[in-house]
Amino acid sequence: MPITRFSVAPLWQQTQALAAVAAARAPADTVITGARMLSTYSERISTDKEIWLVGGRIAAVHPAGTYKKGPAPKSVYDAKGGIIAPGLVDPHIHIESSMVTACAYAEAALLNGTTTIFCDSHEIGNVMDVAGVEAMLEDARLAPLSIFLTVPSTVPATSPELETAGGDLTPDKIGALFDNWPEAVALGEKMDFVPVAMGDPRSHAIIAEALKRGRPVSGHIYGREFVAPYAASGVTDTHEAIDADIADDFVDAGIWVFLRGGNPATPWNSIVEAIKPITERGASHKRFCVCTDDRDADDLLNFGLDWVAREAMRLGMRPEQAWAMGSLHGATRFGMGDEIGGLGGGRRADLVLLDDSMKPQSTWYGGELVVDHRRITPILEDTLNQRYRYPDAAYNTVHTPKNLKLIPELPTAPVVANAIGIEKPGIILPHRKVAIEPANDWSSILTKHNLSFVTVIERHGKSNAGIAHGLLQDFGLSNGAVGSSVGHDSHNILLAGTNEADMALALATIQAAKGGIVVVQDGKVTAFVGLPVAGLLSDKRVHEVAAENRLLKTAWDAAGCTIPYMGFNLIPLSVIPEIRITDKGLVKVPEMALVPLYD
C-alpha cells in the first residue's frame, strides 16, 4: 500500500490518541530508542533518548528504555546511538530544475533527509500557464513528500516586448491559485525586482494578491540599491544573497535570508560568502535558513539540503544551529514551526537518523520508515512506482518555426558587436563590446575573439519568426554545438555553437524528443537528456536521470564549455545583469531595453 500524506481521522481523535500514548495508556505504533536527540528548539543534543510515534505524529520524547514500562509498541527501532533529528525543510526549490517529476524528486529528497519542500513552479508556469502549475500540484499530491507551493509571481519574467513565454500569470490567476489550492502558502520569488522598485502596477498588484490573504512574499534581487524599496513592497525573504554586504542589508531590513548551497562547480553555492554576517559580523542566525534552489538530478542526490547544512557547519556554525537553519527555521518562516521542523509532542513524525558526521542514514516520513541504512524501503518503492502521469498537452510543448537561419549575418563592414561575456560563476553576464573586421567566413572571427554563436528560438507556437542571434565571448566551446529547451525563464530553445550544421542537429534532436539538453560534436550527438514533459522534465526515476546527467556533464566539459549547462540555461534570464538574449533579441539589464547585435 502506498504512503498517504495526511490522516483521515477527525482531529479530536488524533489528539486523543496522541495523549493516550504520551501518558502510556495506549501502545505506540513505533518507538525509536537508544538515540541522541537533536533539539532544534533548544539547539542542543541530548543523550539516551527515545521517541514514541503514533498516527504519523510524535507522541512524546522519553529517556531510552521507558517504553518497557508501559504497553508494548507495535515496533521498536534501535538507533544504536545515532542522532535523531527533525526532517529537513527546504524553503526554496524548483522541482523542474531537477529535470524529474515531483514523485521522482521525493526519492532523492528522502534519501538526504528532506521531508518538506516549498517549491516555486514558475518554470512549468512559463510554459503551460495555470494548467502547468496545477499539473505539478497534482503530481505533488501523489508524491511521498510534503510539498507546498510558493505561487509563481513573475510569469513572464519580463514584458512581451522583450520575450515570448507560454504562460501569463496575471494577478487574478494568482489569486485563484491561492484560493483553490491549500498547498499554495506563499508568493514565489518576485524576480522583476527593478519594476517592483520602480512601482510597476502589475508587479504590485501581484504582491497584493498575497498580502491581502496574509501570505508571505518571496524575493529575488541583485543590487543593494534595491533592498529598501523591495522590503517596503512587502518582500520578506530572498535566496539571492551573493555576498556578506547584501546579506547584512537583507537581514537588517527584516528579510529572511536563505543561504543557498550547491555543487561548488556551479553558481548555486553562495553560502560561503552570504553566511559571513553570522560567522564574522555578529548577526544572529534566527532569520537565516539554508536552501538548495536549483539542482539537477545528479546534484540532487549528491548535494542535498543535508549537504548544505553540513557546509554551514564547515563554515563555522554549530551542528545544532545548522540543522535548525535546515529544518525549524524554514518551517517557522512559513508559519509551520509548530507542525514540522522539531521533535515536540504532536508534531509530524518526519525524522532523520544521522551518523556522527551528520549524514542521514534513515528517514521516517509521517511515521513511516521510508529509508533505512541509506536504502529505500518496500513501502517507498511501491509508492515511487505509482508516479503521476502528466496530461497529454504537457508532452507537446515544443513548436518551432521551420527553415530557420541559426547564425547571424556575416558583417560586410567593420562593426562593433554587443556580445555576452561569460565569467564564472556564470550568473551575472557582462556586456562586452567586440570590434569585428570583415572576413570571408565566420570561422576566423570566432577564433580571433573567442566567440561562439548563441541563438534563441521561440517554441510556444506564438510567433512565425521568433528567433534572435547573438555572440558569446569566452564560452569556450571548442567545436560543435550545445542546446537546451530549458532556457530560463520563458524556456524557449537555446542554442550555442561554432557552426550552423551542428546547431541544426542540436535543434532537431530537441524537436524530435519534445525537449531536452544536448551536446553535439563533429556532426554527432555525444550526450542527450530527454525532457518530454513541458520540455523541462523527464518521466523516469531520479537515478536514471542522474545517470544521464553525469554523461551530459562529461560531454559538456569535453566540449570546452566554461560554465555548467545549468549556468548556460540562465543566458536568456533577462532579469539578471548585465546583458541577456531572448527570442526578441539582446536585452540590457536593468534598463530592460533591446539593443542590436551590431552597433
Q: CA 450, CA 417: separation in Å to the nearest integer?
A: 13
- pLDDT band of residue 4 (cuts 50, 70, 90) is low
As a whole number, mean pLDDT of residues 539-551 equals 97
As a whole number, mean pLDDT of residues 467-488 equals 97
Instruction: Give the angle subtended at the CA of 363 by the CAs of 340 and 365, to the nearest 5°.
Output: 50
In sequence order, the β-bridge partners of residue 96 are none
Cβ-contact 53, 31 below 8 angstroms? yes
For 86-388, CATH number?
Answer: 3.20.20.140
* Mean pLDDT rounded to a whole number for the chain: 95
In sequence order, the β-bridge partners of residue 88 are 114
- pLDDT band of residue 5 (cuts 50, 70, 90) is low
Res 401 pLDDT > 70:
yes
- pLDDT band of residue 484 (cuts 50, 70, 90) is very high
As a whole number, mean pLDDT of residues 213-217 equals 98
Q: CA 45, CA 85: separation in Å to the nearest integer?
A: 9
As a whole number, mean pLDDT of residues 487-506 equals 97
Q: Which 8-state DSSP code applies to residue 73?
A: P
Domain boundaries, the chain: 86-388, 395-595
292-301 pLDDT, tens digit per residue, is: 999 999 999 9
As a whole number, mean pLDDT of residues 30-44 equals 98
As a whole number, mean pLDDT of residues 552-574 equals 95
Residue in this structure with the C-alpha cell 549524514, named with its chain if needed: 359
In the prediction, which pLDDT does 267 show?
76
Res 180 pLDDT > 80:
yes
Q: CA 509, CA 503: separation in Å to the nearest integer?
A: 10
- pLDDT band of residue 1 (cuts 50, 70, 90) is very low
44 three-class SS: strand
pTM: 0.94
Res 376 pLDDT > 70:
yes
Res 427 pLDDT > 90:
no
* Of 157, 104, 220, residue with least CA distance to 538: 104
81-140 pLDDT, tens digit per residue, is: 999 999 999 999 999 999 999 999 999 999 999 999 999 999 999 999 999 999 999 999
More confident residue, 424 or 254: 254
As a whole number, mean pLDDT of residues 182-193 equals 96
* Of 517, 475, 461, residue with least CA distance to 494: 517
